[in-house]
């Protein structure tokens, strides 16, 4: 019998920061082949497996990359610590185990494609973008931590902005603003714009959430410069392109001649709660003794990439506390991990 905890621990012990997922992808392909799945790595580096011959096509899409940073792997007090236990090796391991259990029990009444995607944390979503034209599923589950009793229906959009201001050098005692002061003016203007927009909207999912991710400045003695990276989480009502145009105008008005460029364009996405897939999760959670609920996340996930293209019932689900994403003490409660597997196993048996 497949050891669910051993599988997750082995996955977590294999380092797989974004752009360096090959070792884990190779391991997963080998493991899934041993389970009887038709498994391979695709051209993007994703770990792919297929099982089942009849029924609707269900894509279980999780990501196998992590953010940087080493969290020593250890198991204690019913918890497994390590980078990726929550975000998102735990959810993908639960996909593998649940699919295998349903298949072994003869209750898998659907065709399942498991995708361990690369570069989700790098904001490129390389793996998801590659598979979006490869499949046309009837249902899709994204592997992200929601807690075993919660189902995620939507994620906010994203825009990354790189601001750079250069000017002739000047003495600090002079009247000219320093390059970093211009950047601060721009950042304060961004914050004010977001605060004004958010004042009329109570729900966090409908607000703009700005973050200042990095700042650097310097001088060569003749010219001064300041560079900053901003991130904005966007609601459904604001397209990334719209926000980019507004920020470019704002930078010009507030700080004059300034270079600002944009990456990571990703619109928000939300799925209805009335789909057969969402209902299947509600029934399965209740059947496992849980109190089901729906959530909308302020982050961004591969759902934002495949959801608009596939236009099928889609949710995100996975064991783990998302507040521990990227945390220095990232860990998963193993009882919750196993409850999540049980829920997924029931859902796969009922998607016929």
Among residues 119, 120, 121, 325, the one annotated as catalytic is 120
pLDDT values of the chain reduced to their tens digit, one per residue, 352 residues: 799 999 999 999 999 999 999 999 999 999 999 999 999 999 999 999 999 999 999 999 999 999 999 999 999 999 999 999 999 999 999 999 999 999 999 999 999 999 999 999 998 999 999 999 999 999 999 999 999 999 999 999 999 999 999 999 876 666 788 999 999 999 999 999 999 999 999 999 999 999 999 999 999 989 999 999 999 999 999 999 999 999 999 999 988 878 999 999 999 999 999 999 999 999 999 999 999 999 999 999 999 999 999 999 999 999 999 999 999 999 999 999 999 999 999 999 999 7
The four Cα atoms 203, 204, 205, 209 give a dihedral, to 10 degrees, of 140
Angle between helices 89-105 and 22-34 (to 10 degrees): 10
Distances in Å between the Cα of 55 and the Cα atoms of 51, 108, 232, 318 are 11, 9, 41, 23
Q: Does the domain at residues 157-266 carry the CATH identifier 3.50.50.60?
A: no
3-state secondary structure 5-68: HHHHHHHHHCCCECCCCHHHHHHHHHHHHHCCCEEEECCCCCEEEEECCCCCEEEEEEECCECC
**Element (H or E) spanning 247, and its range?**
helix 240-255
Among residues 4, 21, 65, 227, the one annotated as catalytic is 65
CATH level 3 topology of 4-155+268-350? Aminopeptidase (3.40.630)
**Could you confirm whether 321 is annotated as catalytic?**
no
Domain boundaries defined on the chain: 4-155+268-350, 157-266
Whether residue 88 is preceded by a cis peptide bond, meaning omega within 30 degrees of 0, is yes
**Could you confirm whether 246 is annotated as catalytic?**
no
pTM of this prediction exceeds 0.85: yes
Torsional sign, CA 32, 34, 37, 38: positive
Distance between terminal CA atoms of the chain? Answer: 25
DSSP letter at 207 equals S
């Amino acid at each position: 019998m497949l050891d669910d905890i051993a599988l997750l621990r082995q996955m977590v012990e294999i380092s797989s920061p974004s752009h360096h997922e090959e070792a884990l992808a190779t391991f997963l392909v080998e493991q899934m082949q041993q389970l009887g799945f038709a498994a391979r790595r695709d051209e993007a580096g994703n770990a792919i497996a297929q099982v089942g011959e009849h029924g609707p096509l269900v894509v279980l899409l999780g990501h196998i990359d992590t953010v940087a940073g080493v969290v020593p792997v250890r198991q204690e007090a019913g918890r497994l610590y390590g980078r990726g236990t929550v975000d998102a090796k735990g959810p993908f391991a639960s996909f593998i185990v649940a699919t295998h259990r349903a298949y072994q029990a003869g209750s898998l009444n659907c065709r399942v494609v498991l995708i361990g995607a690369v570069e989700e944390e790098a904001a490129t979503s390389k793996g998801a973008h590659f598979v979006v034209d490869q499949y046309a599923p009837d249902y899709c589950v994204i592997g992200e931590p929601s807690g075993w009793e919660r189902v995620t229906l939507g994620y906010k959009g994203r825009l990354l902005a790189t601001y750079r201001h250069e000017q002739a050098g000047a003495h600090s005692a002079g009247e000219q603003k320093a390059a970093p002061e211009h950047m601060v003016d721009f950042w304060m203007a961004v914050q004010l714009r977001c605060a004004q927009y958010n004042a009329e909207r109570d729900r966090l999912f409908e607000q703009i959430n700005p973050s200042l991710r990095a700042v650097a400045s310097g001088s060569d003695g003749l010219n001064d410069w300041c560079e900053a990276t901003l991130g904005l989480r966007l609601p459904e009502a604001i397209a990334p392109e719209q926000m980019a145009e507004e920020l470019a105008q704002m930078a010009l008005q507030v700080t004059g001649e300034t270079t600002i460029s944009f990456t990571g364009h990703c619109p928000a996405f939300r799925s209805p709660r009335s789909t057969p897939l969402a209902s299947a999760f509600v029934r399965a959670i209740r059947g496992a003794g849980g109190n089901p609920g729906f959530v909308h996340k302020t982050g961004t996930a591969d759902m934002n990439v495949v959801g608009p293209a596939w236009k099928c019932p889609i949710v995100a689900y996975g064991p783990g506390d998302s507040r521990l994403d990227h945390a220095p003490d990232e860990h998963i409660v193993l009882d919750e991990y196993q409850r999540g597997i049980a829920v997924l196993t029931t859902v796969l048996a009922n998607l016929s």
